[in-house]
A and B are shown apart, each in its own frame.
Chain A
Amino acid sequence: MKARINGIDKREEKHFFLFISPWLLGFLIFTLYPMVFSIILVFTNMDMTGSGQFVGFANIIRAFTEDPLFYRSLLNTLYFVLVSVPVSLLAAFLIALLLNQKLKGVGFFRTSFYIPYITSGVAVTLLWGWIFNAQFGLVNYFLSLFGITGPNWLSDTRWAMPAIIIMGIWTIGNSIIITLAGLQDIPEALYESAEIDGASSFVKITRITLPLVTPTLYFNLVMGIIGGFQIFMQPYILTEGGPSYSTYTYMMHIYNSGFKYNEMGYASTLAWLLFLVIMIITQIVNRTSRHWVYYDN
């Protein structure tokens, strides 16, 4: 009896490994091996051809003591994350609240908010470059209607990053839909009983909606942080990191170090340092989450 069960188990195990084999191979080749290799690279000065020597901690020391762009790009990226993530989160929540009402034509609005996200690529980035054009762009024209002379957005050190943040907030469609799904999971009965108790809309939102949607907000927050730290395409295309490094992001520094200056060892070091920063920040968010994220069980 036991042998037969073992026999079946073995056959099942064989099947299991057969079917997961594409992933297992992919994991070994495209994740595990590069990760290990990448750790080794941290301690070398390897270039694109794969030749280089062991340099100990030189790359790490260089990042902290000899590379002003390390701090600069890190601070720029932090600036981006600290502004765009909370604003996006709040905006997505408010828009989702509006969409969560029993209104006709909600589908049309949902579509409008989602389209920027689905199309976000080089074409749409170039479109924003035109919208932020100092002389003929839409933004400055709109401001001029109120008598405001708009800045030279993308060529002004103070305004280039805000411009990129604005563009980022425009693509919050996915967080809106995720938040909306979270809102729709809240049982209607809770609102009905609150209504019987005479609760106002404000009380309903702050006492029922907000606590119950916190798991979704938490998810959006963590994804926003991880995504925000990897911002690359928009500043790379619109400003190439300029003017005077005001939009030079951390991901751009990794890219330039590795693929422009051919320093693969240093690029790997920067990548791991970014990984550490992201880990630390998400861990902090995770720690605080038990104070504000509401869990059912």
Chain B
Amino acid sequence: MEAYYKSKRTSDRIKTSLSYGVLTIIAVIFIFPFIWMLSTAFKIPSEAYTLPPKIIPNTFTWDNFVQGWQYADFTRYTWNTLIVTVLATLGTVLSASFVAYGFARFKSRYSGVLFTVVLATMMLPSQVTLVPTYLLFTKLGWLDTLKPLIIPSFFGGGAFNIFLLRQFFKTIPKDLDEAAYIDGANAFQIYYKILMPAIKPALITVGLMSVTFHWNDYMSPLIYLNSDQNFTLAIGLQFFQNSFGSSQIQMLMAVSLITVIPVLILFFIGQKYFVQGITMTGIKG
């Protein structure tokens, strides 16, 4: 019996170290591209195009960041991206929670049907509505402005977010609302004074996912923005690559790195919430 446990312990130990080995190799594959980006961003041109490639450059330089940033109006692009990201996230969090509160707390003859419609819109691929939406924004005179990237977020904040926040509202006992009603609070006050604070982690989750989505979004800016002064970082980066990228890889990597860093910082701060959000995605299925 003792021999059995001993052999089992040994095999467990082998299994554990094997797992660590495999996980480390995979982690390196996942992380290495970023290290490569970092290293290229600090290289002088001659060293960027050298074989064998060096991870730690012989000559460190900041020039790529400074020059790359000046090649195009990246300050402007960052500002635009920031405006879009902040406002669209605000719209998403506010309107998704508002609507979710309606679905979670108030009954109507139509609530079942309408919630089914919410769920159904999650399945609809965006390209089906792409062209008419574009024509609509053209008619409204929103073309080549940041409006198409911001304003739709204020109309419900996306079916998935509504669904997610509704689930959260449902976990909070209704007695809480009722007590507040008796104290004379109205539905609005209950929404923002009692329920919103109660689901703060969920709101942060939705907010963070919205930030990364809008910061990285490429398709909408590509379709709606034409002039340089309105570009977001995603479009600006592509524009930069088309003009200089293939011959100035060290600059391209430097500028790319700058645009990735805010997302990375945000991720490390809010890691818990990101994972929560993704886990909840799976529960839906």
Contacts and interface: CB of A to CB of B under 8 A. Distances in A.
Interface of A: 9, 12-13, 15-20, 22-27, 29-31, 33-35, 37-38, 41, 46, 48, 50, 95, 98-99, 101, 103, 108-116, 118-124, 126-131, 133, 135-136, 138, 141, 170, 173-174, 177-179, 181-182, 201, 215-216, 218-220, 222-223, 226, 229-230, 232-233, 237, 251, 254-255, 258-259, 264, 267-268, 271-272, 274-275, 278
Contact of A22 (B124, B132, B155): B155
Contacts of B32: 138
Interface of B: 15-16, 19-20, 22-23, 26-27, 29-34, 36-37, 40, 48-53, 95, 98-99, 101-103, 105-111, 114, 117-118, 121, 123-136, 138-139, 152, 154-157, 162, 187, 191, 212, 215-219, 223, 233-235, 237-238, 241, 245, 249, 252-253, 256-257, 259-260, 263-264, 267, 271, 274-275, 278-279, 281-285
Nearest to B285: A219
Contacts of A114: 267, 274-275, 278
Nearest to A264: B131
12 contacts: A13-B106, A18-B187, A26-B156, A27-B156, A30-B133, A34-B133, A38-B129, A101-B16, A177-B279, A178-B278, A218-B285, A237-B218
B187 A272 contact: no
Given A115-B267, A130-B40, 9 more contacts: A16-B110, A18-B187, A19-B99, A20-B99, A22-B98, A27-B121, A114-B275, A181-B279, A258-B134
Given A23-B155, A122-B218, A123-B237, A219 B131 contact: no
A136 B53 contact: yes
A135 B157 CA distance: 45
A201 B107 CA distance: 50
Nearest to B271: A111
A222 B284 CA distance: 13
Contacts of A258: 130-131, 134
Interface centre among A9, A128, A268 (most CB of B within 10 A): A268
Nearest to A240: B242
**Chain A facing B: main interface SS:** helix
> What 10 A-B pairs come out closest when comparing CB atoms?
A219-B285, A26-B155, A19-B102, A121-B216, A23-B156, A178-B282, A16-B106, A34-B132, A123-B256, A34-B129
A129 B32 CA distance: 15
Contacts of B235: 122
Contacts of A35: 124, 128-129, 132
Contacts of B95: 22-23, 26
A127 B216 contact: no
Contact of A113 (B27, B139, B237): B27
A291 B128 CA distance: 31
Contact of A136 (B49, B134, B212): B49
B257 to A, nearest CB: 7
Contacts of A115: 30-31, 34, 264, 267
Nearest to B19: A98
A17 B111 CA distance: 9
Contact of B241 (A17, A18, A116, A237): A237
A127 B259 CA distance: 12
Contacts of B114: 20, 24
Given A121-B215, A130-B40, A271 B127 contact: yes
A18 B156 CA distance: 12
A103 B16 contact: yes
Contacts of A220: 285
Nearest to A174: B278
Given A12-B108, A23-B99, A99 B125 contact: no
Contacts of B37: 127, 130
